[in-house]
Amino acid sequence: MTAPSEMPLDENAPLMRVALACLLAHCTLMIFSGIAFATFLSPPFPEWLQTPSNQRIMVFGFKWGGQTTVVFGALAGLLHSVGRLGLRTAVLVFIASFGISLGSELLGTSTGLPFGPYSYTNQLGYKIFGLVPFNIPTSWFFMLYCSLAICGRLLPATDDGLSKWWWSLVAGLVLTAWDVSMDPAMVASVHWLWHLPSLEGMPLWQNVLIGGHFYGMPLTNWLGWLLTGIVVARVMLMIVPPTRWARDVSPSKFPLALYAVNAILPLGICVGRGLWAAFFLGALAMAIPLYLAVKKGPKAVGSASRPTGALGDVAVAGR
């Protein structure tokens, strides 16, 4: 018998309407930020932005805009997971993903492993231990939540160890697709910085791995994203096995919408800064899993253990 803390909530309940409101707020801020970075926040800055009052508004926006946007996205993902998985399981998934990704980011900013040598500026808000903005591991949580939901539409849902590792690999790839446009955009807008060594006299293999050949980003960054994504996804699958992701989370279009919305800001920055290779490759990288997930649709995996409703479909057509 299901414990009370694991009882899924009705998606039409007030809590889930709040999740939809958070998603819409997240989407609105993403669209505004994407347009802003593609136009007046892309150098050369217009004269009207140089006035003292507008400079104060811009400083306020840089300080709080990114933090607020990510918090809304995290709340949307967390509340949706509560409705689909139950409170205790959703909180465990959040804690596990936040903790492991934070550990990876702290290791990265301290030692350069596994991503390469980098540091965060102050544009992303409060830094944990002065190194990692709190909204970075928060983003890892809801984007991996979405990535595993996509896996539930693309992959066979079985709970053996090999399947869990396969799911983890695909989830890591789906997550890393986000960084194809994200990293060039964030570097161009000085949200974080790469501190790469001189390539003079460096062996070819090192040059390929840590040379900033893709808009100043080393290949090790994507490898670090993939490795961290695999590890975090694997732990999340220890808490919620593939059959349950496929049965309870993947039928909802909500995670697909949350994943897609997060392409807006980096793609907007890429347009504004003329990073066309990052724009087209990043758009394609995220579009492929989204298209396949929508085309394949949800799988029939056992009987649902939770009531169905409209929120998981983001107020659009039924499943």
Q: Where residue 123 falls among pLDDT bands split at 50, 70, 90?
A: confident
Q: What is the pLDDT of residue 41?
A: 83
Residue 4 lies in a domain: no
CB 143 within 8 Å of CB 179: no
pLDDT at 302: 56
Residue 1 belongs to a domain: no
pLDDT exceeds 60 at position 316: no
180: helix, strand or coil: helix
Residue 274 in domain: yes
Residue with the larger pLDDT of the pair 292 and 15: 292
Give the pLDDT of residue 301: 67
- Which percentage of the chain shows pLDDT scores above 70? 90
Question: Please, where are the H alpha helices in 112-195?
Answer: 135-154, 161-188
pTM: predicted TM-score of the whole model, two decimal places: 0.88
Q: What pLDDT score was predicted for residue 238?
A: 97
Question: Mean pLDDT throughout 73-97?
Answer: 96
Per residue in 221-243, pLDDT (tens digit) is 999 999 999 999 999 999 999 99
Residue 118 near residue 195, CB atoms below 8 Å: yes
Kindly tell me if the per-residue pLDDT of 311 is higher than 80. no
**Does 216 have pLDDT greater than 70?**
yes
Rounded to an integer, the average pLDDT of 178-187 is 96
**What one-letter code names the amino acid at 190?**
V
Which of 89-98, 102-111, 230-239, 309-318 is the least confident region?
309-318
Q: Rounded to whole angstroms, how far apart are CA atoms 192 and 58?
A: 18
Question: What would the mean pLDDT of 169-190 be, rounded to a whole number?
Answer: 96
- 161: in domain: yes
Find tokens 């990043």 and name the residue: 282
* Parent domain of 250: 9-312
Question: Is residue 130 included in any domain, yes or no?
Answer: yes
Query: For residue 318, is it within any domain?
Result: no
Q: Please determine, for residue 307, whether its predicted confidence score (pLDDT) is greater than 70.
A: no
Q: Does a structural domain hold residue 284? A: yes
* Cα-to-chain-centroid distance, residue 265: 12
* DSSP letters spanning 29-86: HHHHHHHHHHTTTSSSPPGGGGSHHHHHHHHHHHHHHHHHHHHHHHHHHHHHHHHHH-
Percent of the chain at pLDDT > 90 equals 69
What is the tally of structural domains in the chain?
A: 1
Report whether pLDDT(8) > 50: no
